[in-house]
Amino acid sequence: MRPTAPRSARGFTLLELLVAMAIFAIIGALAMGGLNAVLAQKEVARRQLDRLHDVQRAVRLLTNDFSQLNPRYVRDALGTPELPIVSPCTVEYVVCLTRDGWRNPFAQFPRGTLQRVQYALEEGKLERSYWAVMDRTLVNEPREQVLLEDVEAFEVAYLDQGSSGEWTLQWPPLTNTGGTNGNAVLEAVRISITLKDWGEIVRIVEVIQ
């Protein structure tokens, strides 16, 4: 008869192995859940940073456009002169303006520094359009770029130097007789962008002409 092995020399029983496997499975599930939560938070943070970058870029472009207004008139495709800044510009566009300071990164291809720009809100997208040259022709189509999405409202208000602090949504401002005051001097612009996720963002830009 063979002697029995001591108790301490025996291996794990099947029950002990099942319990150990169950414990490892629970720990693994908890670890996986924590990892998924971390990855989800990382994705949310990335989207928020991308959104912040887009908002900052849009506000920066708007600020640069309005702070560098230029009094240069332009002509449309039919040869009709347009004011340096008109708001509302058309049924589609909120504002059209002429700005200076258009940088040219390609010095070997010289061009002017003036730029004709217009802004529109179309199906929740804030769009900026500009022309490669100032005076337009029938074949000179604007180049469009989407600055922001999920935009609920876009409004631009104007402060005349002689308006006693009253903002107006039209430029040139209206006179008492119902016409427009072409001699008005623009002092500041208030830009309001309402986003679905972040609410209203307001920026006041001092105009130097």
Residue 75 main-chain phi, psi, to 5 deg: -120, 140
Confidence (pLDDT) at 44? 78
**What residue type is assigned to position 170 of the chain?**
Q
Whether 48 is in a domain gets the answer no
Whether 154 is in a domain gets the answer yes
Whether 84 is in a domain gets the answer yes
Q: Are 190 and 156 in contact (CB under 8 A)?
A: yes
Beta-sheet strands, E only, within the chain: 74-75, 81-82, 85-86, 93-99, 115-122, 125-130, 143-148, 151-160, 167-168, 186-195, 199-206
Query: Which carries the bigger pLDDT value, residue 135 or residue 57?
Result: 57
Confidence (pLDDT) at 99? 93
What is the value of pTM for the model shown?
A: 0.76
Whether 143 is in a domain gets the answer yes
Whether 111 is in a domain gets the answer yes
- Give per-residue pLDDT as tens, 4-30: 555 555 666 877 777 778 887 888 787
Whether 79 is in a domain gets the answer yes
Residue 143 to residue 131: CA distance in whole angstroms: 6
Residue 36 CB burial class (10 angstroms; 0-12, 13-18, ≥19): exposed
User: What is the domain-level CATH number for residue 103?
Assistant: 3.10.610.10
Q: What is the 3-state composition of the chain as percent helix, strand, coil, each rounded to the nearest 5?
A: 25, 35, 40
Confidence (pLDDT) at 2? 54
Query: Partners of 86 in the beta sheet?
Result: 96
Whether 131 is in a domain gets the answer yes
Residue 120 to residue 123: CA distance in whole angstroms: 10
Q: Which of 121, 146, 142 is nearest to 130 (CA)?
A: 142
Mean pLDDT score, 110-129: 90
The answer to whether residue 3 scores a pLDDT higher than 60 is: no
- Give per-residue pLDDT as tens, 124-150: 999 999 987 888 776 778 899 999 999
Residue 151 to residue 171: CA distance in whole angstroms: 23
- Give per-residue pLDDT as tens, 163-199: 777 899 999 988 777 677 777 889 999 999 999 999 9
Residue 55 to residue 60: CA distance in whole angstroms: 8
Q: What is the residue range of 85's domain?
A: 63-206
**What residue type is assigned to position 14 of the chain?**
L
Whether 28 is in a domain gets the answer no
Q: How many domains does the chain have?
A: 1
